[in-house]
Amino acid sequence: MLKLEKIKWGRVALAWALFTVFMVALVYAQALTSGTRVPWRTAVLGPLVYGGLWTLLTPVVFWLAARFDLTAGRRRMLPYALVHVGSSVALTAVFRTLYVALLYLLAVPGTVLSWAAILSSVNVWVPGYWMLLGVAYALDFSGRYQRRNLDAARLEVQLVHAQLQALKMQLQPHFLFNTLNAIATLIGDDPQAAQRMTAKLGAFLRLILDHTDEQQIPLAQELQFTGLYLDMEQIRFADRLAITYELDPAALPALVPNLLLQPLVENAVKHGLASATGAGAIHIQAERQGERLVLHVRDNGPGTDRTGPRGIGLRNSEDRLRALYGAYYALTIHTAPAQGFAVRIELPYQPHS
C-alpha cells in the first residue's frame, strides 16, 4: 500500500511551482515566435491557477491511489480500475469548474463562465489524473526499493556483528584456558610468580570486560592489552623472553579490531619461544604508510619450511579482518627454518575520532 506519510509534500508543491514557471515561459516563448502579443493575465494567471489547483488536488489523487491500490492483487484490480476511471472524470470536472471560475473572477481575457466551457475539454485533462496516479505508484515503488535495500544492509551489519561477537567469544576462552594452565604449572614451582601472573590476568580481564562491546579500538589501547599479556608471559618465561617495540606515533590513533595482536603474540610465544632452547624475542612493529596501517609481529623461534594448518588464534584473526574490511586487508605469514615466524597485517588507516 502506498505510504502517504513518507511523501514529502513540500517537494510536490515545488514540482508544481516549477511546472508553473515553465508554462509561463512557454506561453511567452510561443508569443515571441508568432509575433503576437499575449496579455500578462493570460500568460501568468492561467498557468498559476492551473498549477495551484493541481497542487491541491495531488494529495487527493495520492489518497485514492493508496485507498484503491491497483497493485493489491488481480481480484481487486478491475473494480479499483473502475473506481479510478470514475474518479478521473469527476476530479477533472471539479478541476475544470474551479479553473474556469477562477479565471473568470480574475478577469483573464477570453474566459467565458459556462457549462460548455467547463465540459468542452474534460477529456483532454483526464490523462492528468492518470499521470499523477502513475507518479504515486512510482514513488511508492521507489520507496519500497530503498526500504528493502536499507533492511538488507541492516541485516548484513547485524550478521557481521553477530559473527564478530561469536569469534570474540571463541577467542577469549581459548586465551583464558591457556593462561590458567600456565598459572597451574607455576603454582608448584614458583607460587609467587603464579600470584603475580594471576594479578596480571585479573587486570587484563578487567580491561577486556570494560571494552567487550567494542569491535574496534585505537592501536594504543590494543598495545596496552598486549602489554599486559606479555607481562604474564615474561613472568612465565623469566629471562628467556625479550620484547621490543618499533612504533610509529602516527599509527597509534588508528582503529584496529579488539584483541587483534594478542592471539598473534600468543602464537609467537607458543610456536616460537616455547620450543626455543635459548633466549627468545618478540618484536612488535606498527607504522602508517599513507592511508594504510601496517603491523608486524615477529619472533626468533626455529621457524619451519612449510606452512601447516593455522591455529584458532590466526583463523579467528583472519575471519574478523575479513568480516570488518572485506577485500581491503592483507594478512601474510613468513617463516623459514632458523628464521622465526612473522605475521604482517595491512589495514585501512582509520583514525579514532
pLDDT single digits (tens) 198-225: 888 888 777 766 766 677 889 999 998 8
3-class state of residue 53 by DSSP: helix
pLDDT at 157: 61
Q: 130 and 34, same structural domain? A: yes
Q: 15 and 115, same structural domain? A: yes
Q: Inform me whether the pLDDT recorded for 321 exceeds 80.
A: yes
Q: Using one digit for the tens of pLDDT, what is the confidence trace for 91-103?
A: 888 888 888 888 8
Among 193-197, 257-261, 273-277, 317-321, the least confident range: 273-277
Q: Which of 93, 119, 151 is the last residue of a domain?
A: 151
Domain that holds residue 281: 239-348
**In sequence order, what are the beta bridge partners of 343?**
297, 333
Return the closest-CA partner of residue 289 out of 337, 245, 343, 346.
Answer: 346
Return the closest-CA partner of residue 221 out of 253, 176, 178.
Answer: 253
58 inside domain: yes
**Mapped to the 3 state alphabet, what secondary structure does 95-113 carry?**
HHHHHHHHHHHCCCCCCCC
Q: Which of 127, 151, 175 is the last residue of a domain?
A: 151
Identify which of 112-116, 238-242, 253-257, 299-303 has the greatest average pLDDT.
253-257
Is the CB of residue 316 less than 8 Å from the CB of residue 266? no
60 inside domain: yes
Q: What angle do CA 304, 310, 316 make, to 5 degrees?
A: 145
C-alpha 330 chain-centroid distance = 22
180 inside domain: no
In this structure, the chain runs to a length of: 353
104 inside domain: yes
Among 111-125, 160-174, 269-283, the least confident range: 160-174
Number of domains the chain contains:
2
The 8-class DSSP code of residue 338 comes to T
pLDDT-based confidence at 8, cuts 50/70/90? low
3-class state of residue 285 by DSSP: strand
162 inside domain: no
Among 70-74, 131-135, 289-293, the least confident range: 70-74
Q: Which of 118, 151, 184 is the last residue of a domain?
A: 151
Q: Using one digit for the tens of pLDDT, what is the confidence trace for 111-139?
A: 777 777 777 777 767 887 888 888 888 87
158 inside domain: no
pLDDT-based confidence at 234, cuts 50/70/90? confident
